[in-house]
Structure 1
Amino acid sequence: MSTISWTENDTVHTARWHSENGTPAAAHIVVIDDRTTANHALRLARSGTGLLWRGDFHNARHLLRAMDRRLARKSPSAAKHVDLGAIFHAQREARSHRATLLGSVLIELEGDRSIQLGRAPDVHAAYEHAYGEVPAESAETPSGTTVISLPELLGVMSAYEWHRKGIDIGAVGGRLHPAYGVFAPTRDEYIDLLAAVPFPVDDPLIFDIGTGTGVLAAVLARRGARRILATDLNPRAVRCARENIRLLGLDDRVHVTKADLWPDDTTRADLIVCNPPWLPGIPTSALELGIYDAASEMLNRFLGELAEHLTAQGEGWLILSDLAEHLGLRTREELLARIAAAGLEVLGTDETAPRHSRAADGTDPLHAARARERTMLWRLAPQR
C-alpha cells in the first residue's frame, strides 16, 4: 500500500494514496483552498507539488476547469502541410502533460468515503463500483483516509453515472451498462457492421475476443447465435460483460470468461469476432486499453493465432478502424502483409463511415484524418 504525507496546522498527516494508473504520490504537498488562483496552482503543479484541496468542492471543479483552459491555450495546433502523425503524437504528449498537472489537485476521502468539504457529493457508491470494498485501517494510516487526484475522482463519478443510466443499443434491444475502466460502446457505427453479414455455418460456435461490455456478443446472440464464448483479460470487463448479458436475458447463450484472447487451447470456433484497440500506442490508463494497443500486439496476436482456433469452414471477423492508416501509424500494406503471413486470406470487407461529432469538426487538427476514417469488418479465413 502506498501512502502520502503532508503537514497541516503543524501536524503531520498520513493517508492512503490511490492512483489507478500507478502515478506515485507527490513528495511535497501544500494545502490550497478557495483563495488559490489557477495561475498559482499551475506554478505549484509545474514544480511537482501536490495540491490538497480544503475549500468548497464545487470551487475545486472550477479551479480545475480554469487550469485546463490555460493549458489548452498551449495545445498543439495544425499547420498547413504538417504531418498528421506528428500532430497526433504531439496531442497525446500534450494531453499527458495536462493530465499530470491537473492530477496535482488532490481530494481527501474519509474512511467511510465521505468528503468533508462544502457541497461535496456522496461518492461512496461510485468509489465502491470502481475500486471495490473500502479497505480496513492499517498501522500506516490509522485514520483510514485516502487521497486521490480530483480528475480521477471526477472520472469515477462520471463512469458511475454512465453505469447507472446505461447506453441504449438498438441492436441488442436494450441498454448496456459500462463499468469504470471498461471502454463504452459510444461509437455504434461498428456495431452495424455485424447486422447483415451471414454466419459461415448454421448454428455456429462463436468466440468474442476482448468482449469489453459484451456488446458484440449480445448483438450476435440477438441475431440468433446460441453458443457464444466471450473473453477478456480485464477482470472489470469480465464482470461488466457478465452483468450486461444477464440483464439482457442472454446468459443461456453467452458465457463470459477471463482469458488472454482464447477461451482454451483445444476448442475451435466456427466464427471468431474481435474488435481490438484501433490505434498503435502505449495505453496510459485502464480505459485506454480499449483504444491503444502497444506495437499492435493484440491485433498481431489475434491474426497470428486465428487460423489454429477456427474450424474447417470457420471465419474470423476483424473489426478495425483505418484511422491509424490516415495518421501514418500503420499502413494498409502492413496490415495485409500481416494477414498473409498468418496464413489467412480476405474473403471480403464491409465498411462504414463514422457518425461521431469529431468527424465533422473542422477545428480539430486531425479533422483531415477523421473525415476519411472508415471502420471495416474484415472477413478472414485460413488460406484454402
Structure 2
Amino acid sequence: MNSYLEWQENGVAQRARWRSEAGIAPHRQVQIADDTLGADAAYRLLESGIALLWRGDWVNARHLMQALTRRADRRFGALRGKAPATPGEAFARHREQQGKRAALLARLLVPLEADYRVPLRRAQETCAACQEAWGEPDGEASMVALRELLAVISAHEWRKKGVPVPAVQGRIYPHYGVFSPVRGEYVDLVANAPLPANCQTAFDIGVGSGILSAILAKRDVPRVVATDMDPRALACAMENLQKLGCAAVELQRVDLFPEGKADLVVCNPPWVPAQPSSPIEYAVYDPDSRMLRGYLEGLAVHLTPGGEGWLIISDLAEHLGLRSRQQLLDWIAAAGLQVLGRLDTRPQHPKARDASDPLHAARAAEVTSLWRLGALHS
C-alpha cells in the first residue's frame, strides 16, 4: 500500500506519494528549501527533525548533501562518551550512531515527476535509474530522500560498467538492492576449493548477484540450481548468468532449498546476526542467524551420499561477541553434520586497515572461511 507525504506550500495543502526503501514513515514536519539556505542552517533544521523539500537547483542540492554528510560524519563518526566495555557494545553503539546519521540525512527530499524526472534546474537524467530500481512508472508523482535517489543513480552506474571478477574472467552487473561481490576473498574460496568427487549437481542457496552459481558453472558442474526469495536478486542473477554464458543455471524463487538432493550445496549467508535497517543490509545482517541456522538445519537431507555443504562465512560476529565459535559448532552438530575441513582467508577490504573505524579491532582480526560440511550418517 502506498503512503503519502503531506505538506504546506505557498499556503496550499500538498500531497504526493512517499518512496522509502528503508520503510521510513512520511515526515510530519516539512519545510520548503532552496539555494538561499546554507549548510549550517540546513543541518540545524534536519537535526531538529524537520524535513527539507528542495525546490532549488539540482547541482546545489548535491553540493548541500555533501556538506551535510561531512557534518553528520563529524557528529556520528566516532563513538562518544564512555568507552564501550565490550566489542558487542561497540557494535551496538556504532549501529545506533549510523542509524541516527542515516535518519538525519534522509530528511533532505526531492520531487519526482510521474515519469521519474526530477523537476529541478540542471537536474540530471534519472528515469532509467529509477525504472531499474522501482519498475515502470505508475503515473504518480512522488517524493524521495535525495540520499536514496543518489543511491539509485549510483547503482545504475555500477550496473552499466559492472564489477570485474577475475574468478569468472568477466564482470558482475549488480542491480539496485542486490549486494555486489566487491569482497573477492570469499569468491576465490569457492573458485579454488576442491569439488566433491563426481559432482553432478550443485545448489546455490541465496543466489544474490549470481556470482557463486557462475563459478560453479564455470567449474563444469553439470547442473546448478540457485534459489532466492528476492525478485531483484533473481533478475540480477539471470542477467549476469546470461552475460557470463551460464544461462543453463536454474533459478527458483524459494526459501532456502529447492526440492531434491545435490552433491554440493553452497551458501554464503549474511555474516552478522543483527537487524537490517534497509533492504541492501539483508546481505550483511541476518536477524537471529535465521538464514545460517536454516541452511544448517536443512542441509543433511538435501545432500547425496558423500555430498558436501559449503558454508562461506566470516568470523566477524565472533570478534564482535555476537556469536561464539562454539555456538556455530553446536549448530553444526545439532543438524547432524560434521566438519570435513575448512579453508581460511584474510579480508582485503580497506576497512580491515582503517584504524579510525570504531570496529577496527574486530575487522583487523577477521577471517573468512569456507566450511566443508558433510552429513554424519552419509
Taking structure 1 as the reference length, what is the TM-score of the superposition?
A: 0.94
What residue in structure 1 maps to residue 120 of structure 2?
Answer: 117
The 3-state SS of whatever aligns with 1:151 is helix
How much identity, in percent, do the aligned residues show?
48
Asked if structure 1 preserves the Cα contact closer than 8 Å seen for 2:196 and 2:263, the reply is yes
What residue in structure 2 maps to residue 63 of structure 1?
Answer: 64
What is the CA–CA distance in structure 2 between the aligned matches of 1:89 and 1:67, rounded to whole Å?
A: 24
What residue in structure 2 maps to residue 51 of structure 1?
Answer: 52
What residue in structure 2 maps to residue 256 of structure 1?
Answer: 251
What is the CA–CA distance in structure 2 between the aligned matches of 1:83 and 1:73, rounded to whole Å?
A: 23
Asked if structure 2 preserves the Cα contact closer than 8 Å seen for 1:171 and 1:222, the reply is no
Task: Tell me whether 1:202 sits opposite 2:198 in the alignment.
Answer: yes
What residue in structure 2 maps to residue 383 of structure 1?
Answer: 376
What is the CA–CA distance in structure 1 between the aligned matches of 2:282 and 2:218, rounded to whole Å?
A: 27
Deviations 1:149-181 (A, max 9, x none): 111000000011111111111111211100000
Task: Tell me whether 1:40 sits opposite 2:41 in the alignment.
Answer: yes
Asked if structure 2 preserves the Cα contact closer than 8 Å seen for 1:53 and 1:105, the reply is yes
| Pairwise CA distance, 1:97 | 0.6
Asked if structure 1 preserves the Cα contact closer than 8 Å seen for 2:199 and 2:264, the reply is no
| Structure 1 residues 129 and 81: CA distance shift in structure 2, 3 A | closer
What residue in structure 2 maps to residue 163 of structure 1?
Answer: 159
What is the CA–CA distance in structure 1 between the aligned matches of 2:199 and 2:103, rounded to whole Å?
A: 50
Asked if structure 1 preserves the Cα contact closer than 8 Å seen for 2:152 and 2:176, the reply is yes
What is the CA–CA distance in structure 1 between the aligned matches of 2:37 and 2:96, rounded to whole Å?
A: 27
What residue in structure 2 maps to residue 108 of structure 1?
Answer: 111
What residue in structure 2 maps to residue 139 of structure 1?
Answer: none
What is the CA–CA distance in structure 2 between the aligned matches of 1:324 and 1:223, rounded to whole Å?
A: 31
The 3-state SS of whatever aligns with 1:277 is coil
The 3-state SS of whatever aligns with 1:180 is coil
Task: Tell me whether 1:221 sits opposite 2:217 in the alignment.
Answer: yes
Asked if structure 1 preserves the Cα contact closer than 8 Å seen for 2:54 and 2:61, the reply is yes
Asked if structure 1 preserves the Cα contact closer than 8 Å seen for 2:84 and 2:90, the reply is no
What residue identity is the alignment partner of 1:372? Answer: A
Asked if structure 2 preserves the Cα contact closer than 8 Å seen for 1:4 and 1:15, the reply is yes
Asked if structure 1 preserves the Cα contact closer than 8 Å seen for 2:79 and 2:93, the reply is no
The 3-state SS of whatever aligns with 1:59 is helix
| Pairwise CA distance, 1:29 | 1.4
| Pairwise CA distance, 1:110 | 1.2
What residue in structure 1 maps to residue 138 of structure 2?
Answer: 135
Asked if structure 2 preserves the Cα contact closer than 8 Å seen for 1:231 and 1:262, the reply is yes
Further displaced range: 164-173 or 196-205: 196-205
What residue in structure 1 maps to residue 98 of structure 2?
Answer: 95
| Pairwise CA distance, 1:83 | 2.1
Match of 1:345 among 338, 341, 350: 338
What residue in structure 2 maps to residue 21 of structure 1?
Answer: 22
Task: Tell me whether 1:301 sits opposite 2:301 in the alignment.
Answer: no
What residue in structure 2 maps to residue 73 of structure 1?
Answer: 74
| Pairwise CA distance, 1:61 | 1.7
| Pairwise CA distance, 1:68 | 2.1
What residue identity is the alignment partner of 2:269? Answer: P
What is the CA–CA distance in structure 2 between the aligned matches of 1:81 and 1:27, rounded to whole Å?
A: 34
Asked if structure 1 preserves the Cα contact closer than 8 Å seen for 2:113 and 2:141, the reply is yes
| Structure 1 residues 80 and 53: CA distance shift in structure 2, 3 A | closer
The 3-state SS of whatever aligns with 1:195 is helix
Task: Tell me whether 1:177 sits opposite 2:173 in the alignment.
Answer: yes
What residue in structure 1 maps to residue 364 of structure 2?
Answer: 371
What is the CA–CA distance in structure 2 between the aligned matches of 1:13 and 1:112, rounded to whole Å?
A: 19
What residue in structure 2 maps to residue 140 of structure 1?
Answer: none
Deviations 1:176-222 (A, max 9, x none): 10000001000011111122322213142100000100000001111
Asked if structure 2 preserves the Cα contact closer than 8 Å seen for 1:112 and 1:124, the reply is yes
What is the CA–CA distance in structure 1 between the aligned matches of 2:241 and 2:328, rounded to whole Å?
A: 33
| Structure 1 residues 314 and 261: CA distance shift in structure 2, 3 A | same
Gaps of 5+ in 1: 137-143
Asked if structure 2 preserves the Cα contact closer than 8 Å seen for 1:349 and 1:378, the reply is yes
What residue identity is the alignment partner of 1:228? Answer: V
Task: Tell me whether 1:86 sits opposite 2:79 in the alignment.
Answer: no
RMSD of aligned alpha carbons: 1.5
What residue identity is the alignment partner of 1:258? Answer: R
The 3-state SS of whatever aligns with 2:40 is helix
Deviations 1:336-376 (A, max 9, x none): 01101111000000000011111111222222111111100
Further displaced range: 192-201 or 215-224: 192-201
Further displaced range: 124-133 or 105-114: 105-114
| Pairwise CA distance, 1:82 | 4.3
Further displaced range: 74-83 or 240-249: 74-83
Match of 1:361 among 354, 361, 368: 354
The 3-state SS of whatever aligns with 2:191 is coil
| Structure 1 residues 343 and 106: CA distance shift in structure 2, 3 A | same
Task: Tell me whether 1:317 sits opposite 2:310 in the alignment.
Answer: yes
| Pairwise CA distance, 1:5 | 2.0
What is the CA–CA distance in structure 2 between the aligned matches of 1:357 and 1:345, rounded to whole Å?
A: 34
What residue identity is the alignment partner of 2:157? Answer: E
Deviations 1:248-291 (A, max 9, x none): 11112x11111100112xx1111000000000101111100100
What residue identity is the alignment partner of 2:285? Answer: Y
| Pairwise CA distance, 1:84 | 2.0
